[in-house]
Amino acid sequence: MGIRKYHKIMFDYIGNLILPFILILLVGCNKFTDTLPQNVKAESDYYSTATELSNALTGVYGILASTNVYGDAMWNAYSAATDESYYTNTNATGPQLMNFTSSDPTIASTWTQLYSGINRANLVLENINKPIMDSASRSVIKGQALFLRAYYYFLLVSNWGDVPMRLHSTTSPDSVSFPRTDSKIVYNQIVNDMTIADSLVQTATYYGFAGRVSKTTVEGILARVCLYRAGFPFTDDHSSWFAQSLFWSNKAINSGIHSLNPSYSQVFINHCQGIYDIKESMWEVEFYGTGNGNPYPQTGAVGVLNGISCSDLIHGVCFARISTQAKLFNSFVDNSSLTSRDTRRDWAIAPYSLKTTNGVTTRVAWPINSIYNRNDAKWRREYESGNNKQKNYSIINFPLLRFADILLMKAEAENEVNNGPNAAAYACINQVRRRAYGFPLNTANVVSDLPAGLDYAAFQQKVYDERFRELCFEALRRNDLIRWGIYIPTMKALANLVSTTASAGFQSAALAANNIQQKNVLFPIPINEMSLNPTIGQQNVGW
């Protein structure tokens, strides 16, 4: 690919887009043509009204739903290869099998999409004062744009390390070359932008749905950002960052807006049915449409690529690319028996297969010792709303932040800040566990609650284990293992576990673990970026 052609594509994809003014930009990312369509307004004429500014913000949100972000890649390609799951298509190549190079198209497309979102946010921020509108509405748009720009940088820095940081829009196809910024500086910018956003955006109750960023969403994600900054690969100032994470998780909890849904399974059924429960599911990527038509729909593959295998279109076709590891399944088992009182297991991990005969689909229970057969089952298309289910798309939302996660982050931070668990740490993790066992959330129970008197290390392991069970398949496990500094040894141990527990037909569950190397802690900078951005600097180690 020639430099001019590359710059032309990058000029579009990185979001320099002198067309934030057309609806296509709001939900998708199309390549430049030499002649602008007649219905396109020049950039200098755009953002002249509150509606146009709001539409441009919708374009910033649209990146979340793109195929190579949360439409597919974040929870599929980048998350299938952990100790909770494995990728069932062994003929594939890519991050899901740890079989890829710096020229991998998914890696390149995610990088491109995230920078497109950043540039769209920059355009909104640069034009925030252009239209005549009420100041309160303007502030809310500014806050959301700041947060989304920071969130896209968070996805970049946590997956690629040092990355180029641009806080101004790209105005020329020749101005896409810029160097990588130290990840500490990037994290500082993320926290700064999100902190400002927290003072500007509306509350969750104002919106009443989870598709827009609210104050407690900002606070919850800030708690996550600070935990990542406190962990590997950083070696400095851990205590300060844990304290900041605790501060932000406390703000979200003390708002009084959020609480756990008494039913774990209902959280995910709600995602399938388009029901918003803002108390628990605080921020979601929204999907809608059928994959056809104009304006462009925002369809995803939640439940299509991850879910219980099914060939019945009425029931909901699922290709079931993600299945469970025995390590995850067995983590729910009580007292080394074959039964579990933890209700999360048989919702998150399929307890049955779906068989279609003569157009009729029925459930067939798995034998208790059939583990590697079982698919990720959190999002089940049989619950998907609507009568026009598509083969390759779904309208099931994907959660980016749940209140259960905030409770577990607070428990982790309390343990770190106090060098051991206090009553608040126990209260948070035990709420999550009581819900899992079907008990009242605020009543002590010896079956579900952790034993008193755990020291720092023992409680830390309990937090690790609880996040493993509660948040499985939600695109968090890989980064948790990395920030805890145990990703590579955990995956190596998994390879040994599979070799001794899986039958010959399921040894493929260890493919990614067998392929993993130290370099896989970070993704490679895309090869085109390395080749055509002379200021990018060195490739990540090992790539």
pLDDT number for residue 24: 34
* Cβ proximity of 318 and 310 under 8 Å: yes
CB neighbours of residue 427 within 10 Å: 17
The CA distances from residue 402 to 189, 221, 269, 354, in Å, are 24, 10, 14, 29
**What are the strands, taking DSSP E only, across 202-241?**
none
Percent above pLDDT 90 for the chain: 83
- The whole-number pLDDT of residue 122 equals 97
Check: CB of residue 524 under 8 Å from CB of residue 180.
no
Whole-number pLDDT of residue 4: 28
Average pLDDT over residues 358-373: 94
Range from 173-177, 414-418, 452-456, 468-472 carrying the lowest mean pLDDT: 173-177
Average pLDDT for 234-260: 97
As given in the structure block, the two tokens for residue 543 are 């790539």
Distance CA(346)–CA(284), nearest Å, equals 23
Q: What's the token pair of residue 27?
A: 């939900």
Highest mean pLDDT among 40-49, 291-300, 454-463: 454-463
Q: What's the pLDDT score for residue 171? A: 73
Tell me the average pLDDT across 26-36. Answer: 31
> What is residue 20's predicted lDDT score, i.e. its pLDDT?
38
Is residue 42 classed exposed, middle or buried when 0-12, 13-18 and 19+ CB atoms within 10 A define those classes? Answer: exposed
Q: Is 285 helix (H, G, I), strand (E, B) or coil?
A: strand
Higher per-residue pLDDT: 307 or 31: 307
Question: On the CB side of 223, how many CA atoms lie within 13 Å of its CA?
Answer: 27
| 506: pLDDT strictly greater than 70 | yes
Whether the predicted pLDDT of 243 surpasses 80 = yes
Tell me which residue of 50, 53, 190 sits closest to 123, measured CA to CA. Answer: 53
Tell me, letter by letter, the H, E, C secondary structure of 97-120: HCECCCCCHHHHHHHHHHHHHHHH
Q: Is the peptide bond before 399 cis (omega within 30 degrees of 0)?
A: no
523: left (phi over 0), alpha (psi -120 to 50) or beta: beta
Q: Is the pLDDT of residue 32 over 50?
A: no
Query: For residue 314, what is the DSSP state?
Result: T
d(CA 472, CA 466): 10
CB 66 within 8 A of CB 29: yes
pLDDT digits (tens, 9 = 90+) for 373-395: 999 999 999 999 988 899 999 99
Domain residue ranges in the chain = 1-178+486-543
297: confidence class by pLDDT, cuts 50, 70, 90 = low
What distance in Å separates the CA atoms of residue 266 and residue 269, rounded to the nearest whole number?
5
Please give the Cα distance from 171 to 148 (Å, whole number).
Answer: 20
Instruction: Give the per-residue pLDDT at 386.
Output: 84
Mean pLDDT of the chain: 90
What Rg, from alpha-carbon coordinates, does the chain have? 23
Q: How far apart are CA 386 and CA 364, in angstroms?
A: 25
Buried b (16+ CB within 10 A) or exposed e, 64-99: bbbbbbbbbbbbbbbbbbbbbbbbbbeeeebbbbbe
CB 140 within 8 A of CB 201: yes
- Interatomic CA distance for residues 227 and 516, integer angstroms: 24
Q: Collect all residues with Cβ–Cβ distance below 8 Å to 316 and sequence separation of at least 6.
A: 303, 307, 310, 380, 381, 382, 384, 389, 394
Question: CA 398 to CA 391: how far, in whole Å?
Answer: 18
Helix axes 403-417, 423-437, angle to 10 degrees: 150
What's the rounded mean pLDDT across residues 135-150?
98
Tokens of 37: 């369509």
The reported pLDDT for the residue numbered 298 is 83
Question: pLDDT per residue over 104-128, tens digit each?
Answer: 999 999 999 999 999 999 999 999 9
Query: Does domain 1-178+486-543 bear CATH number 1.10.645.10?
Result: no
Three-class DSSP category at 477: helix
What would the pLDDT profile of 48-105 be if each residue is shown by its tens digit? 999 999 999 999 999 999 999 999 999 999 999 899 999 999 888 999 999 999 999 9
DSSP letter for 66, please.
Answer: S
Give pLDDT tens digits for 421-465.
Answer: 999 999 999 999 999 999 999 999 999 999 999 999 999 999 999
Q: Is 281 exposed, middle or buried (0-12, 13-18, 19+ CB in 10 A)?
A: buried
In 27-153, the DSSP E strands lie at: 85-87
Candidate from 287-301, 349-363, 508-522 with smallest mean pLDDT: 287-301
pLDDT at 43: 62
What is the per-residue pLDDT for 31?
26
Supply the pLDDT for residue 26.
36
Stated pTM of the model: 0.91
Split at pLDDT 50, 70, 90, the class of 294 is very low
Confidence of residue 334 (pLDDT cuts 50, 70, 90): low
Instruction: Give the pLDDT band of residue 34 (cuts 50, 70, 90).
Output: very low
Residue 340, sorted as left (phi over 0), alpha (psi -120 to 50) or beta, turns out to be: beta
**Averaged pLDDT, 136-163:** 98
Beta bridge partners of residue 94, listed in sequence order: 99
Residue type at position 101? T
Kindly tell me if the per-residue pLDDT of 257 is higher than 60: yes
Q: What percent of the chain has pLDDT over 70?
A: 88
Report which DSSP code applies to 87.
E
Does residue 402 carry a pLDDT above 60?
yes
- The one-letter amino acid code at 520 reads N
Quick check: 524 pLDDT over 70?
yes
